Amino acid sequence: HVKPSVFLVASGIHFVSSQGPHEMASPMLSVLGMTGVTVEQTELSLPSRLEAVAEGANAVAEFLNRAGVSEEAAFGIDMAVREGIANAVIHGNKLDEDKVVTITVAKSANTLEIKVRDQGQGFNLETISAENILKTSGRGIFLMRNFMDEVGWTALPEGGTVLRMIKKLENS
């Protein structure tokens, strides 16, 4: 049973936060090898506009601060989150404000999981080149992989893509 501790709807932002045992998280925890642990989770949905990058990153930063994540880890996580949201807004949803980007952050034990979901058509990861590191765009995937321990994408049958990033935290 999830008990929302915060629910905010303002200027198109939906923000839900819950703390405590979370039945919906059990599949995720099983994959991570964790069962019977306390999960703190936050989810928010933002319209696909450029401002969503800062809004989403700020919400994740507040979550990380509440969760006691170190400043050093939070810096890299922030970079990865900004890149993930920007990709979802620009490349996934093509800046269509009728489509939303949903960001879910969950922390349990010493693991942080961040998911960024768009409603776009998806993409082929194989078309992203390592040469993009020298360009002004296209570096997002490279940066996410460098700041996070695991990064993966899932194309959803109903449309859209979910970016899943894992960061193992020390002494959090």
Q: What is the pLDDT of residues 45-88, one digit of tens each?
A: 999 999 999 999 999 999 999 999 999 999 999 999 999 999 99
CA distance 172 to 46: 28
pTM of structure: 0.74
- Rounded distance between C-alpha atoms, residue 49 and residue 129, angstroms: 26
pLDDT tens across 151-169, in order?
999 989 888 999 999 999 8
Residue 19 backbone phi and psi in degrees, to 5: -130, 150
Q: How far is CA 84 from CA 56, 145, 153, in A?
A: 10, 11, 11
Q: What is the pLDDT of residues 28-41, one digit of tens each?
A: 444 555 454 557 89
Q: How far apart are CA 143 and CA 86, in angstroms?
A: 13
